[in-house]
Structures are given as C-alpha cells and as structure tokens.
Amino acid sequence: MTLKELGYFYRLTQEPHISQLSKALGISQSAISLSIKSLENKLGEKLFDRIGKRLILNERGRAFSDATHPHYQALIEARDRFSSKELAGTLKLLASKTTGNFILPQIIYDFLTQNPRAKIEKSIQNSTTIIKNIEIGKADIGIIESEFNSDQIVAHHLGEDSLAIITSDKRLKDQTLFIDQLFDKKWLLREKGSGTRELFLQTIGKMAKDLDVVMEFEEFEEAKEILIANPETITCISRASVAKELDRGELYEVIPKNLQFKRNLYLICHKDKYQSALFEHFVAFVKSGVGKKI
C-alpha cells in the first residue's frame, strides 16, 4: 500500500462523497476510486459500504483506520521533516574529557539553539575507545587529542590544544623556569593511559624518572580542588580546562623553559560515513567553534 492510497482512504473517512472529495483535491473521481480498490485488494477486505453515491466506512474499515492512522501520521511527519530545509536528526558524538567538558559544550549548545530539530548525543571516552567505536560504526563523530593510524578513518584537523604547568603557588606566577626546577613540588598527573600524561612525560624525556608523583587523577575538578588548597602541588593539564581558574587568580601558570606541550585536535569519522546535511553543517560548525576556543 502507498501513502497516496492511505491518504485518499483517510480523507474518505471524513468526506464520503467521492465527487466532493474529487473537487477538493483537484483530481478525478476515477483516480480516487482506483486507489481505494487497490488498497482493498491488497488487504483482501472491503473497507467501505457503497450506499448510493456515498462510501460509508464499515466495521473492517474502522478497525483498519484505528490501527493505522497514528503510524500514517508519523510517516507523513517524517517525510515532511526530511523534505524540509531544516536540519533534523540525531548525531552520536564521542569526545575526550578536555574537549567534551571544556571546549564542546557551548559549541553544541549554540548549534542546537540554531537547529532545534537536531539532537547531539555526546559521550565522554578516551581516544583509544573513540577510535575503535568510529571504526566499527558505533558513533558518527569523534573528537580526539592524539595521533592515530587507521585506514578506516577520515580526520579533520581542528587545531592545537596547549597543555600548561599549573599551580596555586603565587610565587611562581608567570615565571619561566627549567622543568627540573619544579621537581621539588608534589606532582599530580592524569591516570596512566591518559594522552595528557603521555604527552607530558614524553616531552620531559629522561627527567621523568626524577618526578615526585604523589597522586593520579581522572577528573579535572578533583585536581583543581587539590591544587587550589595545596600550593605545594603542581600539574600539567590542558589550559582550556583551567581557563576560568586562571582568570579568577585561583591558579597560576608556570612557563617551562625550552619546552612546549602541544597536541593536535582531530574530528574523526568513518571513511564510509554518509555525510547528510546535518552531519556536514555540524562538522563545519565544530571546526569554526573550536578554532575560536583554543
């Protein structure tokens, strides 16, 4: 059965005179009659009683109408939505902690405000998990902070994320020091396997063995509370994750001499991902938004 046949059927339930319905729709009476006969033949049931010049819905027709009309309405709404120029649909997005918690929220909010029929389902994962899920098609888009090698994935470079040496010890504010001059501090580092931790340790090289790591953390808020309450502590963390605390003067940045802690941010998707209008607009929006944030 077709949407056209169903449409004529439901209209006839309201206007039993084919001649009147024909005038209202601007089509021939025979076209309506043929559609109804086709629908009845497919169902193997008569849906109307032919009484004079009227088609009166019978008991089988009423049962069919009750059972199908809500689904018909849903199909019509879906058709109209897809034929509309409005962006509609749901994108599944995986993001690492830094981008997911500190860079993307306002970008996603602005996008959804402009496109009320769109939905973004965001989940926080580490980069390794994000890459695996994109490869097997469990997510539409991933945003990661690490290099990778996969022939199944297309990557869009978003920019660079800078890590910073952070403490609440005001004496060190904006000082430029060799990294080993900070080894008397109590260091907080992200958990093992974290891209932030790996970048920091790789950058300082052999000196990492002399680092006094007193605590590991997974959540940024946990680390920030400890740093603020304990000036003897220090960490290396994404600058974006402590931007507010730096502005408020609760935390301070120490400039490491001859060292830079930078990493690339990538938006990734599967190479065979169908790029709908919603997908393309969101990717462009993220590219523009992240560029303004970092």
Q: How high is the mean pLDDT in each 10-residue block of the chain (294 residues)?
A: 88 85 87 90 90 86 90 80 73 92 94 93 91 93 90 93 94 93 94 85 92 91 95 94 94 94 93 90 93 66
152 and 272: one domain?
Answer: yes
| Beta-carbon contacts of residue 21 (< 8 Å; ≥ 6 apart) | 8, 11, 12, 15, 32
Give the C-alpha separation, 140 to 134, whole Å: 7
Per this entry, what is the length of the chain? 294
- Paired strand residues for 252: 167
47 and 104: one domain?
Answer: no
Burial (CB < 10 A; 0-12, 13-18, 19+), residue 294, is middle
188 phi and psi angles, rounded to 5 deg: -110, 130
User: What is the predicted pLDDT for the residue at 142?
Assistant: 97
User: What is the predicted pLDDT for the residue at 187?
Assistant: 96
User: What is the predicted pLDDT for the residue at 280?
Assistant: 92
The token duo for 231 is 């000036």
141 and 268: one domain?
Answer: yes
C-alpha dihedral sign at 31, 37, 42, 43 = positive
Global pTM? 0.67
Could you list the residue range(s) of the whole structural domain that residue 16 is in? 3-83
66 and 105: one domain?
Answer: no
176 and 246: one domain?
Answer: yes
Collapse the DSSP code of 237 into the 3-class scheme (helix H, G, I; strand E, B; otherwise coil) and give the result: strand
User: What is the predicted pLDDT for the residue at 55?
Assistant: 86
123 and 56: one domain?
Answer: no
What residue type is 179 in one-letter code?
I
Q: Which of 83, 116, 148 is the last residue of a domain?
A: 83
Give the C-alpha separation, 231 to 171, whole Å: 10
250 and 274: one domain?
Answer: no
170 and 125: one domain?
Answer: no
Question: Any idea what the CATH number is for the domain that residue 70 is in?
Answer: 1.10.10.10
131 and 220: one domain?
Answer: no
Query: How many C-beta atoms surround the C-beta of residue 263 within 10 A?
Result: 19
152 and 240: one domain?
Answer: no
| Beta-carbon contacts of residue 289 (< 8 Å; ≥ 6 apart) | 106, 107, 110, 111
Query: Measured at the alpha carbon of residue 225, what is the angle toward residues 223 and 226, in degrees to the nearest 5?
Result: 65
149 phi and psi angles, rounded to 5 deg: -140, 110
User: What is the predicted pLDDT for the residue at 147?
Assistant: 85
139 and 154: one domain?
Answer: yes
What is the distance between the terminal CA atoms of the chain, rounded to a whole angstrom? 54
The tally of domains found in the chain comes to 3
Region for residue 217 given its phi and psi (left: phi exceeds 0; alpha: psi -120 to 50; beta: otherwise): beta
53 and 99: one domain?
Answer: no
The token duo for 255 is 């400039």
The token duo for 223 is 């680390």
Question: Any idea what the CATH number is for the domain that residue 166 is in?
Answer: 3.40.190.10
Q: Which of 41, 56, 83 is the last residue of a domain?
A: 83
